Amino acid sequence: MLEDFGINVDEITYIIADFYPIDDNGQTSPSLATFVSGINFLFMTTVSLIVIFVFGFKCYFEMTRVAVPGRNYSITQKLLQTQLFRALVFQTLIPLTIMYLPLFVLFIFPMFNINVGFAHYVSISISLYPALDALPNLLLIRDYRDSLYNILRKPHEVTLNMEPYYIRRGSATVSSARKSTVNLN
């Protein structure tokens, strides 16, 4: 900490997993309690990853069942469901790459007494997660992507479009500009 940030370790509060503490003789020896805690952490993280993958595959197989030609689903609905599924996959890959994998490395390497010099990058990558989490939705869902493109393309011409929109349902066209009344009896 002193070399990287100019902060004395004795002046800050931190949590550490010291797998090989120094005993009274100045020798390092493995700490069983720390190893059990580290393995417990890795086990819990692995279980959460397994849950993510199991339900991800279930969702994928359900999507392939829905996308079968000849079903009573509209092309618009299939397209939207596909876009949402792709966004969900990328929203799963983001924490996997910027949180899970660096934390695995950060815990596994010290267990084998290998010095890892990138611990401060892990905290940076974890802090980036909330900002990156929305990107798959903005970039992979067509309506959001088109709106973002229009905003970025001509920022001086952005206005709210208050024109009525129309939805075609079967043979009837429904307008959003209809006057509606509410009876309070």
The tokens describing 70, both together, are: 């000849």
Q: What are phi and psi of 166, to 5 degrees?
A: -120, 140
pLDDT computed for residue 157 by the predictor = 54
Single-letter code of the amino acid located at 121 = Y
- pLDDT value at 69 more than 50: yes
Q: What is the mean pLDDT of the chain?
A: 78
Q: What is the pLDDT of residues 125-182, one digit of tens each?
A: 888 888 898 899 999 998 888 888 888 886 555 455 554 544 444 444 444 444 444 4
Please state the separation of Cα 114 from the chain's center in Å.
Answer: 29
Three-class SS of 53-101: HHHHHHHHHHHHHHCCCCCCCCHHHHHHHHHHHHHHHHHHHHHHHHHHH
Count CB-CB contacts under 10 A for residue 102. Answer: 19
The predicted-structure confidence for 16-68, as pLDDT tens digits, reads as follows 788 888 888 888 888 899 899 989 988 998 999 999 889 988 988 887 776 66
Global pTM reads 0.64
Q: Confirm if 45 and 103 have CB atoms less than 8 A apart.
A: yes
